[in-house]
């Protein structure tokens, strides 16, 4: 059966400690994997300044999940978000073919200015050579 890829970004409250954040992230990861979703990529952006206040807070911890799943799982995840007070905001988007291509390159660290790309690649090569 064909499965869509989705991308979810959510913001956790800044009042949590490091371990609490890890625990919350693990919890949502578990709801995904328990329901048969396949996690493709995840990113933790850390504490970021918000562009405007949400629940009287100016900062938040951002977390991104990219996963392959049935459409039903999105609703399950979102009810989990709604029930959890630690989540201030969430956004789930379906990835089309261009978005998939983009996120693929992004996860490999290729997104950026064109001039930067070859330089980065060279650097990576250089480091691998050093390691060898």
Binding site for another protein (CB under 8 A): 9, 11, 50-52, 54, 60, 62, 64, 89, 91, 93, 96, 98-99, 101-102, 106, 111
The nearer residue to another protein, 9 or 76, going by C-beta atoms, is 9
The nearer residue to another protein, 35 or 54, going by C-beta atoms, is 54
Beta carbons within 8 Å of 21's beta carbon, 6+ residues apart: 12, 61
Beta carbons within 8 Å of 30's beta carbon, 6+ residues apart: none
Beta carbons within 8 Å of 25's beta carbon, 6+ residues apart: 12, 44, 63
Residue 27 DSSP label? H
The nearer residue to another protein, 55 or 127, going by C-beta atoms, is 55
Q: Minimum distance between the CB of residue 48 and another protein, rounded to whole angstroms?
A: 8
CA gap 27, 56 in Å, rounded: 25
Q: Minimum distance between the CB of residue 34 and another protein, rounded to whole angstroms?
A: 26
The nearer residue to another protein, 35 or 59, going by C-beta atoms, is 59
Tokens 């994997």 belong to residue? 33
Q: Minimum distance between the CB of residue 89 and another protein, rounded to whole angstroms?
A: 6
Q: Minimum distance between the CB of residue 97 and another protein, rounded to whole angstroms?
A: 9
Residue 5 CA, chain-centre distance (Å), reads 13
């Amino acid at each position: 059966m064909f499965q869509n890829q989705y991308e979810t970004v959510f913001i956790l409250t800044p009042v949590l400690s490091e371990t609490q954040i890890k625990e919350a992230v693990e919890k949502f990861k578990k709801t995904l994997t328990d329901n048969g979703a396949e996690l493709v990529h995840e990113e933790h952006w850390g504490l970021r300044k918000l562009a405007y206040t949400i629940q009287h807070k100016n900062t938040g911890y951002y977390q991104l999940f990219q996963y392959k799943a049935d459409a039903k799982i999105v609703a399950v995840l979102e009810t989990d978000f709604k029930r959890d007070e630690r989540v201030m905001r969430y956004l789930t988007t379906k990835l089309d073919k261009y978005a998939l291509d983009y996120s693929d390159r992004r996860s490999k660290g290729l997104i950026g200015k064109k001039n930067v790309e070859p330089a980065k690649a060279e650097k990576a090569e250089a480091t691998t050579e050093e390691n060898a």
